[in-house]
């Protein structure tokens, strides 16, 4: 008999959220609450930072101690409330000299570099040109404008010695693949972790530059250990390449049908579960199956 699921790590964009609209469906919300009521720990793992993720999760009604892994694994906090940031559990920083050194070479990829700092308010996001970035990802810029500060040149944002938790580069898919290859082969390659998210339909890719050793998977492993939950009792649900380490860690990895084609191929090759798309409540369907199995197993134990 397989181990019961006691922890579910879930991505947000393309997984919890539908393709259009910024609200989790009623069915998915209900499934999450029922899982929590059944004693399953829900962990949200996202490339978004806390301030950009929490407003989507708070309306679901999950416990305020629900864990959020943000910035692709560099910051882990509890959910908190609308007025108070959650309790910090873990965080990691890119060394200032590494982040500053990245600024000049990354300009060859269109000048779309953003650094994220673990602080609240303007300056949480730093970039060289809002107008230039708006040409590529205007919805993101508009949603985050109140947290953005411009520094030109970008190196100036490090003059006070503050270290970022994450760098981000965005652009066309092929260009970001080239950027990843260049960075991995460069002198920076041994100092950073690279996680790519692709949206082929939009010809958009986001390349996240993280402190060494950071990923959603590494963070989820730590949370599971903190809760006394084994790998075999952990499920992970995701839709893109930045979820890969999390899926590799989980004893029960689940990939969305709407995932990046390359990730779906990996899932098929490895025999991972593939659920329906984010627009068909794929997350809810998986959780409902977990709860149904748990009820059957409980009934069997009770009857014997």
Q: What's the pLDDT at 81? A: 76
Rounded to whole angstroms, how far apart are CA atoms 71 and 73?
6
43 CB-near residues (< 8 Å, 6+ apart): 7, 8, 9, 10, 66, 67, 68, 69, 220, 223
Q: What's the pLDDT at 83? A: 64
Residue 57: C-alpha distances to residues 147, 193, 240 (Å): 19, 27, 20
Rounded to whole angstroms, how far apart are CA atoms 20 and 16?
12
Q: What's the pLDDT at 274? A: 98
Domain-wise residue ranges, the chain:
7-91+215-303, 96-211
Binned average pLDDT, 10 residues per bin, the chain of 304 residues? 90 96 94 97 96 94 96 95 81 96 93 90 94 89 94 94 95 94 96 94 94 97 98 98 97 97 97 98 98 64 33
Write the class of the CATH domain 7-91+215-303.
Answer: alpha beta
Q: What's the pLDDT at 2? A: 76
Q: What's the pLDDT at 245? A: 97
Please identify which residue in the block is written with the tokens 């260049």.
182
Please identify which residue in the block is written with the tokens 């970008």.
154
Q: What's the pLDDT at 135? A: 86
How many Cβ atoms are within 10 Å of 256's Cβ, its own excluded?
A: 28
Torsional class of 281: left (φ above 0), alpha (ψ -120 to 50), beta (otherwise): left
Fold of 96-211: 3.30.1240
SS3 state at 132: helix
């Amino acid at each position: 008999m397989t181990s019961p699921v006691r922890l579910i790590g879930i991505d947000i964009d393309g997984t919890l959220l539908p393709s259009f609209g910024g609200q989790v469906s009623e069915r998915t919300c209900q499934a999450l609450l029922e899982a929590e009521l059944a004693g399953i720990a829900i962990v949200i793992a996202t490339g978004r930072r806390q301030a950009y993720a929490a407003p989507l999760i708070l309306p679901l009604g999950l416990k305020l101690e629900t864990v959020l892994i943000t910035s692709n694994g560099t910051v882990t906090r509890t959910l908190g409330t609308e007025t108070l940031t959650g309790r910090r559990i873990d965080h990691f920083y890119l060394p200032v000299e590494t982040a500053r050194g990245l600024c000049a070479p990354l300009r060859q990829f269109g000048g779309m570099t953003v650094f994220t700092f673990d602080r609240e308010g303007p300056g949480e996001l730093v970039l060289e040109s809002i107008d230039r970035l708006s040409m590529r990802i205007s919805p993101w810029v508009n949603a985050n404008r109140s947290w953005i500060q411009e520094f030109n040149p970008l190196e100036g944002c490090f003059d006070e010695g503050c270290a970022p938790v994450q760098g981000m580069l965005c652009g066309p898919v092929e260009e970001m693949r080239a950027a990843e290859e260049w960075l991995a082969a460069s002198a920076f390659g041994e100092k950073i972790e690279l996680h790519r998210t692709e949206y082929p339909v939009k010809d958009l890719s986001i390349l996240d530059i993280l402190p060494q050793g950071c990923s959603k998977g590494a963070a989820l492993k730590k949370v599971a250990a903190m809760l006394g939950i084994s790998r075999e009792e952990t499920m992970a649900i995701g839709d893109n390449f930045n979820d890969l380490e999390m899926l590799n860690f989980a004893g029960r990895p689940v990939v969305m049908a709407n995932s990046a084609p390359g990730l779906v191929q990996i899932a098929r090759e490895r025999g991972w579960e593939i659920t329906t798309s984010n627009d068909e409540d794929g997350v809810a369907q998986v959780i409902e199956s977990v709860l149904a199995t748990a009820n059957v197993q409980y009934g069997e134990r009770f009857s014997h």
